[in-house]
């Protein structure tokens, strides 16, 4: 059925190319369409707004400037069109083309993330599947990829939110450009423009602001002297990701993550030393919905890791000084020891123990994906040099 639709659309493109845009005839079918103009030609994707409403709303909002995003180097909330001028920074022949990274390196995004929308009705079974790139569970932002072959091994790992509806030859051509060792094209392939078209009453009625996506703003700061320090007061809220930026010259800005408060009371004032003749501050806030569960710290907390495959249980008792103790239990082995060191990073929908060092167990890098405030599932890697192996399971947080 999809093949027949593509054939009909290609015929309309030839007949109606005089309308001013080669893919204007794709609108003969109801839906929401994204028309990409690139330095190598144009293509169109149909967006699956009924099945992946968050991903589609996010993409439309960024493409049109209807949703604010965070300029990470400066800490400024912006509403200019996000994708115009960005590169296809990753191209893998016979696999995917990928874009949506402002720095062109694939290491950034819009300053926020949103949850996965995995559906069994959308599968990586065709060429031309449009999906969100991610760095693990619930880490979607702005980067997307389009497949150039069947990739069923990607199923259930990435949010699909559209499919090619015209211009497959352009996508294939992009996928075949010469690249360096990091899969970056040797000659830049630029997204010049993304035009969103809505055809039909249902497409017109789709509200991008009703999908419970994060909200990005800049906040006013009240600055005052306080016993030889500077106090910075701002309007904090539950589930808000606050980022403090400072500069000594208004040219370069340094960010600091203040963390996300997941329980009351929230911290509304922070203090900084007076260490320069001039220092400037600004603050950006990303407001998340109440489904954020990862704590700011693991100090004085207990995390119980239940490993899949009968590999046992590790009960981690973190102290208040960056260490702690553990006990390891299996059917035949019970041991205890110390947590020599660990690093915890809070993210909106997960946390990273990256790494955690035990006195007598392999050290591990673990990603804890919260499904509630008391636990969820984890995955990662255990290292016993010179070997390493994947680990996964469930965890509880006390």
Does the pLDDT of residue 124 top 80, yes or no? yes
Does the pLDDT of residue 43 top 50, yes or no? yes
Neighbours of 212 (CB within 10 A): 15
Least confident of 84-88, 263-267, 337-341, 359-363: 263-267
| pLDDT tens sequence across 273-287 | 998 889 999 999 999
Burial class (CB in 10 A: 0-12, 13-18, 19+), 242: buried
Q: Please state the pTM of the whole predicted model.
A: 0.89
Least confident of 271-280, 314-323, 385-394: 271-280
Q: What is the DSSP letter of 152?
A: G
Region 215-227 average pLDDT: 94
pLDDT at 5: 30
pLDDT at 290: 86
On average, the pLDDT of the chain sits at 92
At 396, the pLDDT band (50, 70, 90 cuts) reads: very high
Helix (H) or strand (E) holding 144: strand 144-147
pLDDT at 231: 95
Please name which of 81, 69, 78, 144 lies closest in space to residue 111, comparing C-alpha atoms.
69
Least confident of 6-10, 31-35, 233-237, 239-243: 6-10
Reduced to 3 states (helix: H, G, I; strand: E, B; else coil), residue 60 is helix
Region 356-381 average pLDDT: 95
Residue 155: alpha-carbon gap to chain centroid: 18
Region 105-116 average pLDDT: 97
Does the pLDDT of residue 387 top 60, yes or no? yes
Place of tokens 């059925």: 1
Q: What are phi and psi of 85, to 5 degrees?
A: 95, -10
- How far, in Å, CA of 91 to CA of 93, rounded? 6
Does the pLDDT of residue 327 top 60, yes or no? yes
- How far, in Å, CA of 111 to CA of 28, rounded? 36
| pLDDT tens sequence across 143-184 | 999 999 999 999 999 999 999 999 999 999 999 999 999 999
- How far, in Å, CA of 54 to CA of 214, rounded? 10
- Report the relative pairing of strands 31-38 and 191-199 from DSSP bridges: antiparallel
HSE on the CB side for 383, CA within 13 Å? Answer: 11
CA geometry: angle at 22 spanning 16 and 25, to 5°?
Answer: 50
**What are the E-state strand segments in 274-333?**
280-287, 302-307, 313-318, 324-329
- How far, in Å, CA of 333 to CA of 353, rounded? 24
| pLDDT tens sequence across 58-99 | 999 999 999 999 999 999 999 999 999 999 999 999 999 999
Does the pLDDT of residue 17 top 60, yes or no? no
pLDDT at 160: 98
Least confident of 217-221, 291-295, 346-350: 291-295
Please name which of 163, 107, 153, 171 lies closest in space to residue 133, comparing C-alpha atoms.
107
Does the pLDDT of residue 46 top 50, yes or no? yes
- How far, in Å, CA of 353 to CA of 368, rounded? 8
- How far, in Å, CA of 218 to CA of 238, rounded? 16
- 343 CB contacts (<8 Å, ≥6 apart)? 352, 353, 354, 355, 356
pLDDT at 228: 84
pLDDT at 276: 87
Place of tokens 């819009």: 110
Does the pLDDT of residue 27 top 90, yes or no? no
């Amino acid at each position: 059925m999809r093949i027949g639709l593509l054939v009909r659309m290609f015929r309309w493109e030839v007949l109606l190319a005089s309308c001013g845009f080669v893919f204007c005839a794709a609108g003969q079918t109801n839906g929401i369409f994204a028309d990409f103009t690139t330095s190598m030609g144009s293509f169109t994707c149909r967006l699956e707004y009924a099945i992946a409403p968050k991903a589609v709303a996010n993409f439309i909002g960024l493409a049109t400037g209807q949703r604010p995003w965070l300029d990470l180097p400066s800490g400024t909330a912006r509403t200019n069109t996000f994708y115009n001028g960005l590169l296809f920074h990753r191209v893998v022949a016979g696999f995917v083309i990928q874009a949506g990274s402002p720095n062109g390196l694939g290491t950034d995004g819009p300053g926020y993330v949103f949850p996965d929308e995995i559906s069994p009705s959308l599968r990586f079974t065709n060429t031309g599947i449009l999906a969100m790139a991610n760095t693990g569970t619930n880490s979607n932002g702005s980067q997307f990829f389009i497949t150039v072959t069947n990739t069923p091994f990607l199923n259930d790992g990435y949010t699909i939110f559209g499919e090619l509806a015209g211009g497959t030859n352009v996508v294939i051509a992009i996928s075949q450009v010469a690249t360096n060792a990091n899969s970056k094209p040797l000659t830049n392939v630029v997204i010049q423009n993304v035009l969103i078209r809505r055809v039909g009453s249902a497409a017109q009625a789709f509200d991008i602001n009703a999908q419970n996506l994060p909200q990005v703003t800049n906040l006013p700061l009240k600055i005052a002297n306080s016993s030889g320090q500077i106090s910075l007061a701002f309007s904090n809220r539950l589930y808000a990701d606050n980022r403090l930026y400072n500069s000594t010259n208004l040219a370069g800005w340094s960010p600091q993550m203040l963390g996300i408060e997941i329980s009351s009371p929230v911290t509304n004032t922070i203090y900084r030393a007076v260490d320069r003749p001039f220092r400037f501050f600004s603050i950006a806030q990303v407001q998340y919905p109440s489904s954020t569960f990862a704590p700011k710290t693991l100090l004085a907390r207990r995390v119980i890791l239940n490993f899949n495959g009968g590999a046992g249980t590790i009960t981690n008792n973190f102290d208040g000084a960056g260490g702690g103790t553990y006990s390891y239990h299996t059917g035949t082995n019970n041991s205890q020891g110390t947590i020599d060191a660990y690093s915890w990073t809070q993210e909106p929908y997960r946390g990273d123990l990256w790494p955690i060092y035990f006195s007598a167990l392999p050290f591990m890098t673990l990603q804890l994906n919260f499904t509630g405030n008391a636990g969820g599932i984890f995955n990662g890697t255990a290292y016993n040099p010179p070997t390493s192996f994947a680990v996964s399971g469930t965890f509880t947080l006390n």
